[in-house]
Structure 1
Amino acid sequence: MTGTALIGAVALGLALHGLAPSPAKAEPLIADLSEHRVSITTGFVGTDVLLFGATDGEGDVVVVVRGPARRELVRRKNRIGGIWVNDAEMAFDGVPAFYVVAANRAIAEIVPEALRTRHEIGSGYLRVKAEKGADPKEVRQFWSALVRNKELDQLYGKETRRVRFLGPRLFRTKVFFPANVPTGIYKVEVFLLRKGAVVGAQTTPLFISKAGLGAEVFEFAHRNSALYGIMAIAIALAAGWLAGFVFRKA
């Protein structure tokens, strides 16, 4: 089903909902994804996932997409005697493998600082843990370097993406997942705000996993790392011997 058809289905559902009697108050926010699973195959070059939804009236919409949390090690290089060497390093825990924010207006205009801190809206508001006893200035420098590297890899959004309203209630946005996107369970959060307060929120999971022959090799390598290493060395030696034999014959 195309993005236009999906949004049309949402609009039809809202219309039917308005015609039918309902004893309970309608939810202020309804949102969904065009697909809830992304499969990484051998020829995967990245993909867009459409997020669409509707509100019960006017308001601002903020979308936060984050990947599974993991430990990240950041190394700083320094040039000594004409050679670049690792000068220092710092580890961070609880770092989202992927992080993107989208909104229909500038975040600073619609989300107060307290809400940004509470819901971790923006890479500067992520509650990651640095090494104990680390100098705060060093922590900021290493964290800025980590975010910058992830932005270059398209794993973090350099700017806030755009949420577009199609009329007063329907909205949509696209989230791009690059070819190097990590696997795992992703969390897609959608917030509806009015006058700086959250009046509606919804969280939807998104599963990203490897599929096909690449997935089988990946699983085998992780479950049998020693055997996989031996096989890789054996294949490399065999390929080298075969190439040498062919060239000698030539």
Structure 2
Amino acid sequence: MRVLCSLLLLCLSFAAHAQQPREEVVLGLSQNRVSITADFDGSEILIFGAIKRETAIPKQPLEVIVTIAGPSEPLIVRRKDKRFGIWVNTDANQIDSAPSYYAVATSGPFNDVLRHTEDLRHKVSISRAIRSVGAPAEIGDSRAFTRALIRIRQDNSLFQLLEGAVEVDQQTLFRTSIALPANLTEGPYKTRIFLTRGGHVISQFETEIDVYKVGLERFLYNLSRSQPLIYGLLSLAIAIAAGWGASAAFRMLRQG
């Protein structure tokens, strides 16, 4: 009897799930590759799309969240205190993983479009995108280091919270524009689109934007990694040549 009840509940669960209206993202990008050149001063990504449905539009308003995350890396955040009139590093905390760039664009206030439990599950907000498992026993305020990291990267446009930046038209079309700063780390940038209703995620779509150095920037980057000695000698030779050229030009101007 217990087995029959379990099977009945399972069937009812599947039936209820099948009756829920499915909504999926059909996405478009203005570009899926960003090239970093010698004169690169940033870029702007236009993200647009539509909602594909199998049933009529539900009455509850649809909200859209777009996130772009650069390659993650571990890092150490240090705290400075003033000792004997000078600033010195005191405490340090290890951040296990933090994206080199992270932007969150929403169609409304963040706390209205996504519930706290859903944020915990999908790690959408900036603070949830940073992973810091533990801290040394002598550090009692480890979260202060995470907040400091967020503040510093926000000041450098590497972390962005863009509330209300996603435009939603008739609960079917959406678009947003996200600026990428000049100081980008190369690699794949994970892009996620969430559809929410009542703060709950009803659909999710993922893609990637490739950010890579090209031309001379790519050659110098590869050389610095594969042949650091040659890269150092080349840098020294360029510095000497530039200094000699500037000195020669100055002498010519004085003689003229």
TM-score range, shorter chain: 0.7 to 0.9
Equivalent residue for 1:33? 29
Unaligned runs of 5+ in 2: 1-20
> Is the contact made by 2:106 and 2:162 (CA closer than 8 Å) also made in structure 1?
no
Name the CA distance, whole Å, in 2 between partners of 1:95 and 1:108: 22
Give the 3 Å change call, closer, same or farther, for CA 42–238 of structure 1 in structure 2.
closer
1:210 aligns with 2:213: yes
Equivalent in 143, 149, 162 of residue 146 of structure 1: 149
Is 1:157 matched with 2:160?
yes
Report the equivalent of 2:170: 167
- Contact (CA 8 Å) 2:135, 2:142: kept in 1 or not? no
| TM-aligned CA deviation for residue 131 of structure 1 | 4.9
**What is the aligned counterpart of 1:103 among 93, 102, 106?**
106
**More deviation in 122-131 or 193-202?**
122-131
Contact kept in structure 1, 2:107 and 2:113, CA below 8 Å = no
Q: Which amino acid aligns with 2:195?
A: L
1:150-200 CA-to-partner distances (Å, cap 9, x unmatched) read: 001100014435100233311100111011111110111101112332221
User: Structure 2 matches for 1:156-235, cutoff 5 A?
Assistant: 156-160=159-163, 162-235=165-238
Q: Which runs of 4+ in 1 moved over 4 A?
A: 237-250
Separation of aligned partners in 2, 1:131 and 1:214: 37
Equivalent AA in structure 1 for residue 124 of structure 2: I
* Residue 131 to residue 243, structure 1, CA distance change in 2 (3 Å): farther
Distance of 1:127 and 1:244 partners within structure 2:
49
**Aligned residues of 1:130 and 1:139 also touching (Cα < 8 A):** no
Deviation at 1:126? 2.6
Find the partner of 1:68 among 66, 71, 75.
71
Measured after TM superposition, the shift of residue 47 of structure 1 is 1.1
> CA contact under 8 A between 2:93 and 2:136: conserved in structure 1?
no
1:53 is aligned to: 49
Counterpart residue type for residue 188 of structure 2:
I
Q: Percent identity?
A: 32
Cα distance in 1, alignment partners of residues 148 and 70 from structure 2: 19
How many Å separate the matches in 2 of 1:193 and 1:117?
15
Deviation digits for residues 72-102 of structure 1 (CA, Å, limit 9, x no counterpart)? 2222222222222222322212111111111
Q: Quick one: distance in 1 between partners of 2:135 and 2:172?
A: 47
Inter-partner Cα distance in structure 1 for 2:225 and 2:113: 45
Alpha-carbon distance in structure 2 between the residues aligned to 1:105 and 1:167? 15
- Structure 2: which amino acid aligns with 1:65? I
Given the two structures, how large is their TM-score scaled by the length of structure 1?
Answer: 0.80
Superposition map of 1:122-133 within 5 A: 122-133=125-136
Query: Which stretch of structure 1 is more off in the superposition, 89-98 or 177-186?
Result: 89-98
Cα distance in 1 between the residues matched to 2:194 and 2:130: 19
Please give the alpha-carbon distance, in whole angstroms, between the structure 2 residues aligned to 1:161 and 1:181.
Answer: 24
Normalized against structure 2, the TM-score is what? 0.78
**Structure exhibiting the larger radius of gyration computed from Cα positions:** 2
CA contact (8 A) 1:67 1:96 kept: yes
